[in-house]
Amino acid sequence: MIKKLLIANRGEIAVRIVRACAEMGVRSVAVFAEPDRHALHVKRADEAYFIGEDPLAGYLNPRKLVNLAVETGCDALHPGYGFLSENAELAEICAERGIRFVGPSAEVIRRMGDKTEARRSMIKAGVPVTPGTEGNVADVEQALAAAEGIGYPVMLKATSGGGGRGIRRCNSREELAQAYPRVISEATKAFGSADVFLEKCIVEPKHIEAQILADSFGNTVHLFERDCSIQRRNQKLIEIAPSPQLTPEQRAYIGDLAVRAAKAVGYENAGTVEFLLADGEVYFMEMNTRVQVEHTITEEITGIDIV
């Protein structure tokens, strides 16, 4: 049982973690940069420690955060969402120092964070994915050749991308040739990797994400779905739960797929499996290896405190 936990985050999610700790009898340790000195999570936590003047740097230094966890007698660390929540290095350092990382293993974070590797894992598990390249494309010529086989429109995506960045819809050879250097540049700047791949563009799909929870003993459940189809520039604006777009059969099918996906990679903790739904077909898109911002919507319909 966890006795003392360092919260490697700030704001709403940090407050939620503090509350969960209090309810579970776990001592909470907050961290704060100078702008957050008087923030609510700092006031509510049992202990709080300063991590620097810069508003961001302290929250993005995995070794510093884990060292602080060790120094303050913590036996666990919760990354929240954003910041280092999907950073495999943080999970690795926690394992090295004997700190329980509240999330999946570093191996799973890497596998599901790499979209081409995630696709391979899902194909192996029998989870349907959108047609696309088996791996990354080496250059624009290879991308153009692959697109001819897939059929336009296609999506050019950063392999390590997320948050709506490093992604372009291309309706023709000309658009793909024009978009290729832009996506490479954006991917390199945003994610530190120039790797990209192609997928068939599913036109006007419904975007459905399934909330899953998994323990350390191979047990995995889903907490139904959230409909996040209303978006602007690939950024979610409105989340609806349960989805008004699904039949009972589709809801059960997507939930089963999400559980199968999580079990296939040995997932532990809270996570979200995202799907596209079009013309009655369901396609795996990606997995978020953390508690999502939108977890509160699922809490409203289930009464379960996911944190």
Q: Residue with structure tokens 């799909």? A: 205
What phi and psi, each to the nearest 5 degrees, are found at residue 75? -115, 5
* CA 162 to chain centroid: 8
Sign of the dihedral defined by the CA atoms of residues 233, 293, 212, 241, in that order: negative
Query: Quick check: is 290 catalytic?
Result: yes
The DSSP string of 189-224 is: HHHS---EEEEE--SS-EEEEEEEEE-TTS-EEEEE
The set of long-range contacts for 163-172, using a CB threshold of 8 Å and a minimum separation of 24, is 163/235, 164/231, 164/233, 164/234, 164/235, 165/190, 165/191, 166/190, 166/191, 166/196, 167/234, 169/201, 170/201
Q: Which two tokens stand for residue 226?
A: 């959230």
Q: Which of 127, 28, 121 is nearest to 76 (CA)?
A: 28
Contact 226, 298 (CB under 8 A): yes
Kind and range of the H or E element at 185?
helix 173-191
The structure tokens 């699922």 sit at 298
Catalytic residue among 110, 111, 251, 290: 290
* Most distant pair of Cα atoms in the chain: their distance: 60
Terminal Cα distance for the chain, rounded: 16
Q: Which residues contact 12 (CB under 8 A, 6 or more apart)?
A: none
In angstroms, the CA 93 to CA 63 distance is 7
Active site residues: 290
